[in-house]
Structure 1
Amino acid sequence: MTDAVHERGGVIFAQLMHTGRIGHPSLLPDGLIPVGPSAVAAKGQVFTPDPTGPDTLNLVEDGTTDAIAIQADVSDPEQTGRLVDQVVERYGKLDILVSNAGIEHFGRLDEITPEDFDRVFSVNTRGQLFAVQHAARHLPDGGRIVLTSSVSAKRAVFHHTLYAASKGAVNSMVLNLSPELGARGITINAIAPGGTVTDMANTHALSYKHPLLDVPLDVWEKMHGALGRLARPEESAAVTAFLASDDASYITGRVIEADGGFF
């Protein structure tokens, strides 16, 4: 892989959080947990969700990159628009959008409420759509957009309907926006991570198991995919970095499954 992302000018916008966490330029595929920048820092701007955290501050203070942190609620399109405008005002342009906000949900059919539906879809689906809309106003011809889907969109999991449906909508969004944006040479793709070693996985991993499968979590992790383990966050980040780079200039309208051969 080349350093094409960095050569674009390093203006990368993402990490819009409904949860009240900070949004900022990022190449991280999982918007819910802090991840160190070592995987793709050389290829672009990569930060933890905590803009005051040591990784972020070290990158800024040693001159490795130029970072700003802007808080926004991805469920509010007006806030998303203001966030994009502030990024453009600061850097003069916007080359790449990586949208990775998301919230998890598990619940039986008879438990799902209209409020649950609105909460999940307002972040996972509507939030990503309007991030694209606002970013597209500023992206140059040949820009890059990477959204975040999930392997859950194509896998049956008990009580996971809302989350999976919200990510399935993202897959359709990517496919159908590709010819419209392609007229300007802008590519739009999504990464669909599988199980990843994150705080979210620690919280919800047991919910992904079949209710009749009575095995320890570490055994399930070895059973769930060809590689027999969960992904490291930097492995998913590397896929995102590739899709945002010039190396991926002929890939668009696609969902790339980075799932370790999920069964």
Structure 2
Amino acid sequence: MFDRLISYLDSVRARDPAPRSRWEILLYPGFWALAMHRVAHWLFEAQMFFLARLVNHTARWMTAIDIHPGATIGKHFFIDHGFTVIGETAVIGNNVTIYQCVTLGGTNPTNGKGGKRHPTLCDNVIIGAGAQVIGPITVGERARVGANAVVTDDVPDGATMIGLKARSTLVPAETWLREFIPYGTPCQEPCEEPREAGSSERVKQLEAEVAELRQLVEALAAERQLPDARKSGTDC
């Protein structure tokens, strides 16, 4: 058990440069939320639902992180900061990272029965701050969901999802193979390819028109200033 704890703390340090030691991570709300969820999930599987909910409610009060006791969570799950909601039928793989204000939400079944309603996150997934992943969808291995994206469809392995409604972007193989990229949205990489073949040419054309208009405005300003200068010279 102690070895598993050390392994978990080291996995958090590998993804978060803020803590100076393992002791600091023991104060993280995500650590306590996950630890209490392990207890709540054990009670839930033992069909002690009230006690499971009581532990869940206490954890939510302490950490501002709401993980339903029925959610299944793998190893080395890291919630950076808090204010996260994870639904009952959510399944989370190993080495998953979630930033603040994320919801793994469910859909309301039309037949009124339970069933699978929440997302499945495969191994090494990164969910950016404020993202909403909704419904019984699967987010593929090493996929990334950008900040504030709303995802309602399956996400392929290694894809990056951005926007509202989220759409996939092309990710180079060397990026997909990296061990970890914070927040799931690297700033120095292109977000998406032009949607139309002639988009770049159109941009160049618009830039040329703007430059032409700027020259025209400068010429008109110079013509207006010339009579004013002559008038002021006559008055003198």
TM-score w.r.t. structure 2 length? Answer: 0.30
Greater C-alpha Rg: 2
